């Protein structure tokens, strides 16, 4: 092979080298192009999977809200509130008292009490008949009364 290259004149050697360089460049171009196409395809699959996940999570949340809205079981409502609210609430209690559902809890301050009360109203999709906010040495104590249907 080396003898073959030595027998060629300078112009022929340069043409062969240029042709080899073009072939190598073309091979690299195809490899990079294929990698980019695979990346784009994977990105589209990831976006679709995220979209599907968000759709399923939304439907599951809606179903959970629907089921909890139909329930008047204090244990179920208490568990739902504990699992759904990220705020730091303490001493959460849910009880049936006469025709009311009573929800009571403690938070660090009144602002957090207002926020948690709003979240509970939104999640349960029920109107409060009475809400009491009181401040104590540990923070704030809230009682919510909802009329049972």
Mean pLDDT of all residues belonging to the chain:
84
- Domain spans in the chain, listed from the N-terminal domain onward: 2-68, 73-147
pLDDT value of residue 130: 83
Say which CATH class 73-147 falls into: alpha beta
- In the chain, the percentage of residues whose pLDDT exceeds 90 is 27
- Residue 118: is its pLDDT beyond 90? no
Q: At what angle do helices 110-124 and 10-70 cross, to 10 degrees?
A: 90
Q: The tokens of 106 are what? A: 């403690």
Segment 104-109 long-range contacts (CB within 8 Å, at least 24 positions apart): 104/141, 104/142, 104/143, 104/144, 105/141, 105/142, 106/136, 106/138, 106/139, 106/140, 106/141, 106/142, 107/139, 107/140, 107/142, 108/139, 108/140, 109/139, 109/140
Average pLDDT estimate for 95-108: 84
Are the C-beta atoms of 104 and 89 separated by less than 8 Å? no
pLDDT value of residue 137: 79
């Amino acid at each position: 092979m080396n003898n073959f290259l030595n027998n060629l004149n300078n112009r022929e050697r340069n043409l062969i080298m240029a042709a080899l360089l073009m072939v190598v460049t073309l091979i690299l171009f195809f490899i990079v192009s294929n990698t980019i196409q695979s990346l784009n395809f994977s990105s589209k699959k990831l976006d679709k999977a995220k979209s599907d996940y968000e759709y399923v999570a939304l439907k599951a949340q809606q179903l959970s809200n629907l089921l909890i809205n139909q329930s008047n079981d204090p244990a179920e409502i208490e568990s739902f509130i504990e699992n759904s609210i990220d705020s730091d609430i303490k001493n959460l209690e849910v009880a049936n008292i006469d025709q009311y559902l009573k929800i009571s809890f403690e938070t660090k301050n009144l602002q957090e009490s207002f926020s948690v009360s709003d979240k509970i109203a939104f999640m349960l999709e029920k109107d409060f008949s009475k809400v009491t906010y009181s401040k104590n040495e540990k923070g704030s104590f809230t009682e919510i009364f909802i009329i049972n249907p």
